[in-house]
Amino acid sequence: MAFTLEQLRGFLAVAEELHFGRAAARLKMTQPPLSRQIQKLERAVGAQLLERDNRRVTLTAAGEVFLGEARRLLSLADTAPELARRVSSGSRGVVRIGFTAASTYGTLGLLLNEVGGALPDIALDLEEMVTREQVAGLLNEEIDLGLARPPFDADTFGSRLLHREALLVAVPAGHRLLALGRDAVAADLAAEPVVMHSPTRARYFYDLVVSLVPTASQNAVHTVSQVLTMLWLVAAGRGVAFVPASAARLPIEGVRFVRLRTAVPEPVELHLLWVRESRNPALWRVLELLERSTTSF
């Protein structure tokens, strides 16, 4: 047998007043139906919750324990509708964000601060993923929003350019390219050993670098997927590497940077990415906020 919220409220009133008459007045009802509510509740629970006689009412040991649970259940019942409305409107909920490692060098932190300040009731769960993994995660509803590199299927995904930056050449300290006095060009790098991006796990950067410096893949001495790993290999003198400008914020001893001359001054793109048919209201609140934002990511 189940009990009702009305019975719980009746029990709570009696337990706090320790008097049926005062509890009934508090609930704006008469005493006999309140007594019947308590009896039905005790039958449903299968334990005596109150000791009562003509002079006083006290809680049994079972009643003391049940009182705490009754308060918790009633609190949940009272707040659940409001919580459901807030989740439905997107003002509360969870947005799971996939991000590339390189986006953590500045962009991701700015985005989290922007959303956290304006929408504090939306929790942001983070997962580091390369773009290929983000696309799969979005399709499988494992994440809601990506910080990813193009291109994307426009029929399936919505996207928005979030950030652009230059491409730099990371070189060991004392390298000859540092003495050029100008931006490096492809011809300057024709004979350089290269710590190259993985053509599978870092496809965007691989394609971008090869389009700008065709000899880069031919001169690869190591192939890795993470920019931080590239910089450590550069510091060890293993070769040069092509990295986004934000990587210059990483204080790796022994690494210096030279700007690469490109037809587009800032060719490295980072996009927000989401499934057009997402059913997460909190995602749409976050996207609406970022659309209005004046923050420079």
Domain that holds residue 219: 167-265
Distances (CA, A) of 54 to 1, 18, 29, 31: 29, 12, 20, 14
Query: In 147-249, where does DSSP find H-type helix?
Result: 203-212, 227-235
Paired strand residues for 169: 242, 258
Same domain (yes/no): 273, 239: no
Same domain (yes/no): 190, 229: yes
Which of helix, strand or coil describes residue 3?
Answer: coil
The radius of gyration computed from the CA coordinates of the chain, to the nearest angstrom, equals: 31
Task: Tell whether 73 is covered by a domain.
Answer: yes
Would you state the structure tokens that stand for residue 131, as one six-digit string?
């773009």
CATH of the domain at 103: 3.40.190.10
| Interatomic CA distance for residues 89 and 48, integer angstroms | 43
Q: What is the pLDDT of residues 212-245, one digit of tens each?
A: 999 999 999 999 999 999 999 999 999 999 999 9
Paired strand residues for 240: 194
Give the DSSP per-residue string, 248-259: GGS--TTEEEEE
Same domain (yes/no): 100, 240: no
Tens of pLDDT along the chain (297 residues) come to: 688 989 989 999 998 999 998 989 999 999 999 989 999 999 998 999 999 887 789 999 988 989 988 888 888 877 666 655 655 555 568 999 999 989 988 899 999 999 999 999 999 999 999 999 999 999 999 999 999 999 999 999 999 999 999 999 999 999 999 999 999 999 999 999 999 999 998 999 999 999 999 999 999 999 999 999 999 999 999 999 999 999 999 889 999 999 999 999 999 999 999 999 999 999 999 999 999 988 888
**What global pTM score does this model have?**
0.69
pLDDT at 75: 81
Task: Tell whether 297 is covered by a domain.
Answer: no
Same domain (yes/no): 175, 36: no
Contacts for 271 with CB less than 8 Å, ≥ 6 apart: 146, 147, 148, 149, 150, 152, 159, 160, 161, 162
pLDDT at 196: 98
Q: Tell whether the torsion through CA atoms of 82, 84, 89 and 95 is positive or negative.
A: positive
Q: Is the peptide bond before 172 cis (omega within 30 degrees of 0)?
A: no
pLDDT at 222: 97
The residue from 39, 70, 88 where one domain ends is: 88
Task: Tell whether 39 is covered by a domain.
Answer: yes
Same domain (yes/no): 261, 173: yes
Same domain (yes/no): 68, 83: yes
Same domain (yes/no): 111, 139: yes
Same domain (yes/no): 66, 139: no
Indicate the number of domains in the chain. Answer: 3
Same domain (yes/no): 81, 214: no
| Interatomic CA distance for residues 10 and 69, integer angstroms | 14
- Residue identified by tokens 């609140």 is 285
- Residue identified by tokens 């930056």 is 165
